[in-house]
Amino acid sequence: MITGALILLAAATVAGPVESNGRIAHVHPAHVFYLDEALVPAEQTGPIVSIAVKIGDHVKVGQMLARIDDEQLRRAKTAAELEREVALEKASDNIEIEYSIASHALAESELRHDIQINVNSPGAVALSEIDRKELAEHRMRLQIERSRRDKRIAEKNARIHDATVAAAAHAVQRCLVEAPFTGRVVDILRHQSEWVDAGQGVMHVVRLDKLHVDGLLDASEYDPHELEGRRVQVDVRLAREQIESFIGEVVFVNPQIQAGNKYRIRAEIQNRIVRGRWLLGAGHSADMYIFLDVINARQNERLKEPRTNRHDVEPTRHLSR
């Protein structure tokens, strides 16, 4: 029993890549960082009326973290909705157009009647009376166009009120402080009844399902194209010398050479939950093993793209002047 326990302890505390086939680049030390973290700001100015979470709570993207007083903005939204209702009712009103059409029909009928009388009995209706009725018919025809124009203006005004209501609703929505991504609340910077200005941080939220690991690699040993997209294993030493391994891939190789002839590489790793809690957080030192001969699917597709072989390119010819 003692021998078996010693073997299990040794297996848990000895670092090294699980996949040992092929070439492996070892990055040490590497450091673990949050992939995403945010000081979630207030988007409106005012007092905080409620805090919906506690430090340590796990939150989902879009979940409400806190709410700023929105009473005045809600009243403004209600007023904007009522004004929109009035504008919509005006826009749907066809009475003026129908009345104008009927008035024009009457004026046109009276004019034709007097003209017909003069055809049958010349001079029976004075020319001034004919002119007056022609003017009335013309005015009624213009009134139809004015009524239609007024309706178009009313419809546009209703759309303006639609935009006003949407802006008021957006202002109310901005009183909610919401989680920008799924993660965990690690600090609460403002509390209930405190006044906050727009832009001030209220919560500190970090993402834990994925993390990134940074390290430096010797530029004299590896070229960037050998590393990007390669699979990695990251070994992190936790409490009581326990070593946990996490799998991921290299997502970025900085092409700029830094001091010591090294360049920085970054890998993303998948975290995991143990007993209801994320196992890994930021700040740990780690060993990163890059499997140079293991290409993930995304990198494999990238390699299928046509590319120019620099040795096959004809040198640029310099034309003499």
CATH superfamily membership of 14-35+207-304: Efflux pump adaptor protein, beta barrel domain (2.40.30.170)
pLDDT at 19: 55
In the predicted model, is pLDDT for residue 234 greater than 80?
A: yes
* CA–CA separation, 196 and 65 (whole Å): 14
What residues are paired with 25 via a beta bridge? 290
By the 8 A CB rule, do 234 and 267 touch?
A: yes
pLDDT at 295: 67
Phi, psi (5° rounding) for residue 309?
-80, 120
By the 8 A CB rule, do 229 and 250 touch?
A: yes
State the amino acid at position 259 in one-letter form. A
- Cα radius of gyration rounded to whole Å, the chain: 38
CATH fold, domain 37-68+175-205, is OB fold (Dihydrolipoamide Acetyltransferase, E2P) (2.40.50)
Residue range 176-199, pLDDT digits in tens = 999 999 999 999 999 999 999 999
The mean per-residue pLDDT over the stretch 225-230 comes to 91
Residues 179-210: b if buried by 16+ CB within 10 A, e if exposed = bbbbbbbbebebeeeeebeeeebbbbbbbbee
Answering whether pTM is above 0.85, one says no
Residue range 150-179, pLDDT digits in tens = 999 999 999 999 999 999 999 999 999 999
* CA–CA separation, 56 and 291 (whole Å): 36
Report CA-CA distances (Å) from 27 to 214, 262, 280, 284.
9, 11, 19, 14
Domain map (residue ranges) of the chain: 14-35+207-304, 37-68+175-205, 72-173
Contacts of 17 (CB under 8 A, 6+ apart): 24, 233, 289, 291
* CA–CA separation, 157 and 246 (whole Å): 59
pLDDT at 33: 97
The mean per-residue pLDDT over the stretch 303-321 comes to 38
The mean per-residue pLDDT over the stretch 284-304 comes to 72
**Furthest-apart CA pair in the chain: how many Å?**
134
In the predicted model, is pLDDT for residue 255 greater than 70?
A: yes
